Chain A
Amino acid sequence: MTRSTFVKGRQTSPKEEIWSRPYAALLIIIGGLVLLLAGLAFSVAKGSRQIPLDVVWQAIVAFNPANQDHQVIWELRLPRAIAGALVGAAFAVAGALMQGMTRNPLADPGLLGVNAGAGFMLALCFAFFPGMSFNQLIMFSFIGAAVSVVIVYGIGSIAKGGLTPVRLALAGSAVAAMLVALSEGIALYFRISQDLAFWYAGGVAGVTWSQVDILWPWIAGALIGALLLSRSITILSLGDDVASGLGQRTGLVRLGAVLVVMVLAGASVSTVGAIGFIGLMIPHAARALVGVDYKWVIPTSAILGALLLVFADTFGRLLNPPTEQPVSALIALIGVPYFFYVIRKKVGDNF
């Protein structure tokens, strides 16, 4: 299949192709931040134990260790809500970067096996170094994410015709299937299946402050890195020819983007497990709203991703209390139909 089936054959200058709506983007980012704060407050207040919003406010400004509500807020709900926002933003931006640099509408850290790579490393760590600190786990998770990115992109770029969406998705799902099978084998052998599964699908429940403390600098750093790369990604998203024509060192930009994706996906997976589809859906929504300039797509994706995860998590807790519905399943419920929609819209008809 040729690439022309996926890229609309419109002949325009690079300047015209980079359409964007800066005011809409600013509005979404500011409005999104406000909504995110409201969402965080709501998320902290709701759950199997309902806490009034003014108590939430008091718990934050004047923490009283003797108050049980304050304890619940500080020890359970606040780290969870903050981790949710961070991880949602991370997955979304990782997806945006991958879609931008591959010009591939289906790139997503979950589908491309990046999450599975991180998960495989975690299985190894659980089996051979039980009791490893979270700090070390994150590092290993980075390595796992990086290895699968390299394999998937390597295969895609060796092949004739480059990285078509089908090839990328096939490579990703094969790498994921292989790594998941290996993880399952390791887990069965060392009898850590259920521990691993709990952790892998556990979502944001049970995130502690010590994890958030380690998580946030990585994600914040990687998000800043993504913003710094955004201009280059925009140019790269016009195609390699245009990018090199404009004097861009495409290899260097790709390397930078892969490193950022590695940190974003690795850190997120090691904290909340594999949550797919955020990286697929959010960048699409962001591009539809603010245009194709990644200077705006990346911050918009970050905000929307954080919103999605925080609200999905809160919804999962409210659906059928006191049980919780895992956030990864809820997001998959929206994600699969969305994926089908993208496939029908963007993938060509020729066999």
Chain B
Amino acid sequence: MSPVIFNRKRTVRTTITIVALLIIAFIVLLLSMNTGFTKMSPTEVLRTLFGGGTPRDNLILFEFRLPRIVIALLVGTGLAIAGAILQGVSRNALADPGILGINSGAGLAVVLFVVTNPMRESASPMFMPLLALVGGFAAAAIIYLMAYKKDKGISSSRLVLSGIALAAGINALMIVLTLQMDPNEFNFIATWQAGSIWGSSWKFVIALLPWIIVLLPAALWKARQLNVFSLGDDTATGLGSYLNKQRLLLLIIAVALSASCVAVSGGIGFIGLLGPHIARRLVGPRYEHVIPVSALIGAVLLLIADMVGRTLMENAEIPAGVMVAIIGGPYFLYLLARSRA
């Protein structure tokens, strides 16, 4: 089979997968709009969507449910792409912004802000992604420096282990910080940390959207570069400093994506792991296929997790992050048991 035909086959397959995923996403979207504390029938939802709803229906759908759904979609997309990039760059199939400590760094910045600024209502939600970005980049820089040796470059094992160490340290610090809060602040942070999509208002959608709009095309555009990393060390050395620059750029995209998502959604782990892995199963290892597909899978997964978490129990919500961890944790361990790393 010539490479060209092979590529065309792949492309066809990817297109079919993307269409199928879009249909699934649409169905989940409708389901998600129907379910919640107050039930709405599909016809009611449709009528409300097209402007014919009662004021009550309008309020529920447009002010409570839709922003939350949009955030779940955006965050799922962002985290899954970040995970795919990190896996490509680190050449470790188990890398994930949560495991690598980038989410913890972003989270620490947000918690520090809440602790030092009691007037957080005055802080615009636009500000949160910026803060998280600073934290995320600080964490990434520390991990990168720790994994880097002058004559030998970056090692994947060192990268992963430094990330784990940093995450453990930040979590210890975070527990201490949260203890000094008053119960109100504490509940806010605890809910946020567990990864509930708490920013269920359009303000947060607007805060997150620009980041995704800029970073998503950047990631798609750079996706091909990731294939080079999987070729191995010799090729990487051959390409030299060019590759180092690409690696840095990709890392920046990944960190910015995960940090801006964490600012809105809190600690949602494992999406960055699940998305790319399922995508690889579906469309093979090439990143120009993996990235768009994993973005869709991440969005659908988080939407389902949020929907289930919000309807499973009558009088309480299970944060989406907890739902994702319940599914993602065992899957991660399964992958780990099969991996050769």
A185, B194: Cα distance in complex, Å: 7
Whether a CB of chain A sits under 8 angstroms from the CB of B61 is no
Q: Which residues does chain A contribute within 8 Å of B92, judged by CB atoms? A: 166
A277, B340: Cα distance in complex, Å: 27
Query: When each residue 268-292 of chain B gets 1 if its CB lies under 8 Å from chain A and 0 otherwise, what string results?
Result: 0110000000000000000000000
Whether a CB of chain B sits under 8 angstroms from the CB of A336 is yes
Q: Which residues does chain A contribute within 8 Å of B233, judged by CB atoms? A: 350-351
Assess the B194–A329 pair: CB atoms within 8 A.
no
**On chain A, which size bracket covers the interface?**
35 or more
Of all chain A residues, the one with the shortest Cβ separation from B330 is A178
Q: Which residues does chain A contribute within 8 Å of B94, judged by CB atoms? A: 170
Taking a contact as CB atoms closer than 8 A, the residue among A172, A185, A198, A335 that contacts B169 in the complex is: A335
User: Interface SS of chain B: helix, strand, loop or mixed?
Assistant: helix
With A174-B332, A351-B91 already in contact, the answer to whether A197 and B157 are too (CB < 8 A) is no
Assess the A194–B269 pair: CB atoms within 8 A.
no
Whether a CB of chain B sits under 8 angstroms from the CB of A99 is no
Q: Which residues does chain B contribute within 8 Å of A332, judged by CB atoms? A: 168-169, 172-173
A197, B186: Cα distance in complex, Å: 10
A169, B332: Cα distance in complex, Å: 13
Q: Which residues does chain B contribute within 8 Å of A344, judged by CB atoms? A: 146, 149, 158
Q: Which residues does chain B contribute within 8 Å of A185, judged by CB atoms? A: 194, 318-319, 322
With A181-B321, A184-B319, A189-B313 already in contact, the answer to whether A159 and B336 are too (CB < 8 A) is yes
User: A18 to chain B: closest CB distance in Å?
Assistant: 27
Query: When each residue 248-276 of chain A gets 1 if its CB lies under 8 Å from chain B and 0 otherwise, what string results?
Result: 00000000000000000000000000001
Assess the A193–B190 pair: CB atoms within 8 A.
yes
Taking a contact as CB atoms closer than 8 A, the residue among A1, A177, A277 that contacts B329 in the complex is: A177
A182, B316: Cα distance in complex, Å: 15
With A164-B341, A167-B336 already in contact, the answer to whether A197 and B172 are too (CB < 8 A) is no
Whether a CB of chain A sits under 8 angstroms from the CB of B243 is no
User: B122 to chain A: closest CB distance in Å?
Assistant: 25
Query: When each residue 155-168 of chain B gets 1 if its CB lies under 8 Å from chain A and 0 otherwise, what string results?
Result: 11110111011111
Q: Which residues does chain B contribute within 8 Å of A164, judged by CB atoms? A: 341
User: A46 to chain B: closest CB distance in Å?
Assistant: 21
Query: When each residue 145-180 of chain A gets 1 if its CB lies under 8 Å from chain B and 0 otherwise, what string results?
Result: 000000100010011110011110111111101100
Whether a CB of chain A sits under 8 angstroms from the CB of B43 is no
Assess the B168–A175 pair: CB atoms within 8 A.
no
User: A187 to chain B: closest CB distance in Å?
Assistant: 7
Query: When each residue 242-279 of chain B gets 1 if its CB lies under 8 Å from chain A and 0 otherwise, what string results?
Result: 00000000000000000000000000011000000000
Taking a contact as CB atoms closer than 8 A, the residue among B160, B195, B329 that contacts A178 in the complex is: B329
Q: Which residues does chain B contribute within 8 Å of A178, judged by CB atoms? A: 325-326, 328-330
A155, B179: Cα distance in complex, Å: 34
Query: When each residue 87-102 of chain A gets 1 if its CB lies under 8 Å from chain B and 0 otherwise, what string results?
Result: 0000000000000000
Q: Which residues does chain B contribute within 8 Å of A291, judged by CB atoms? A: none
Whether a CB of chain B sits under 8 angstroms from the CB of A321 is no
User: B193 to chain A: closest CB distance in Å?
Assistant: 7
A172, B332: Cα distance in complex, Å: 11
Of all chain B residues, the one with the shortest Cβ separation from A164 is B341
Taking a contact as CB atoms closer than 8 A, the residue among A165, A188, A329 that contacts B157 in the complex is: A165
With A170-B160, A276-B168 already in contact, the answer to whether A177 and B325 are too (CB < 8 A) is yes
Of all chain A residues, the one with the shortest Cβ separation from B145 is A340
Central interface residue in A177, A182, A189, by most chain B CB within 10 Å: A177
With A106-B161, A167-B339, A276-B172 already in contact, the answer to whether A173 and B318 are too (CB < 8 A) is no
Assess the A166–B190 pair: CB atoms within 8 A.
no
Assess the A174–B99 pair: CB atoms within 8 A.
yes
Q: Which residues does chain B contribute within 8 Å of A34, judged by CB atoms? A: none
Whether a CB of chain B sits under 8 angstroms from the CB of A127 is no
Taking a contact as CB atoms closer than 8 A, the residue among A158, A184, A189 that contacts B316 in the complex is: A189
Assess the A159–B337 pair: CB atoms within 8 A.
yes
Whether a CB of chain A sits under 8 angstroms from the CB of B4 is no
Q: Which residues does chain B contribute within 8 Å of A158, judged by CB atoms? A: 337
A164, B333: Cα distance in complex, Å: 15
Assess the B168–A336 pair: CB atoms within 8 A.
yes
Whether a CB of chain B sits under 8 angstroms from the CB of A282 is no
Taking a contact as CB atoms closer than 8 A, the residue among A1, A155, A181, A201 that contacts B195 in the complex is: A181
Query: When each residue 312-329 of chain A gets 1 if its CB lies under 8 Å from chain B and 0 otherwise, what string results?
Result: 000000000000011011
User: B266 to chain A: closest CB distance in Å?
Assistant: 10
Q: Which residues does chain A contribute within 8 Å of B340, judged by CB atoms? A: 159-161
With A182-B325, A185-B322, A347-B155 already in contact, the answer to whether A201 and B176 are too (CB < 8 A) is yes
Assess the A347–B329 pair: CB atoms within 8 A.
no
Whether a CB of chain A sits under 8 angstroms from the CB of B56 is no
Interface residues of A in 269-290 (CB under 8 A from B): 276-277
Whether a CB of chain B sits under 8 angstroms from the CB of A14 is no
Whether a CB of chain B sits under 8 angstroms from the CB of A200 is yes
Whether a CB of chain B sits under 8 angstroms from the CB of A24 is no
User: A230 to chain B: closest CB distance in Å?
Assistant: 27
**Top 5 A-B pairs ranked by shortest CB distance?**
A178-B329, A181-B325, A336-B169, A185-B322, A332-B172
- Seen from chain B, the residues whose Cβ lies within 8 Å of a Cβ on chain A are 91-92, 94, 98-99, 146-147, 149, 152-153, 155-158, 160-162, 164-169, 172-173, 175-176, 178-179, 183, 186-187, 190-191, 193-195, 232-233, 269-270, 313, 316, 318-319, 321-322, 324-326, 328-330, 332-333, 336-341
Sample of 5 more A-B contacts, CB < 8 Å, known A170-B160, A170-B341: A158-B337, A166-B157, A188-B191, A198-B179, A350-B155
- Seen from chain A, the residues whose Cβ lies within 8 Å of a Cβ on chain B are 1, 106, 110-111, 151, 155, 158-161, 164-167, 169-175, 177-178, 181-182, 184-185, 187-189, 193-194, 197-198, 200-201, 276-277, 325-326, 328-329, 331-333, 335-336, 339-340, 343-344, 347-351
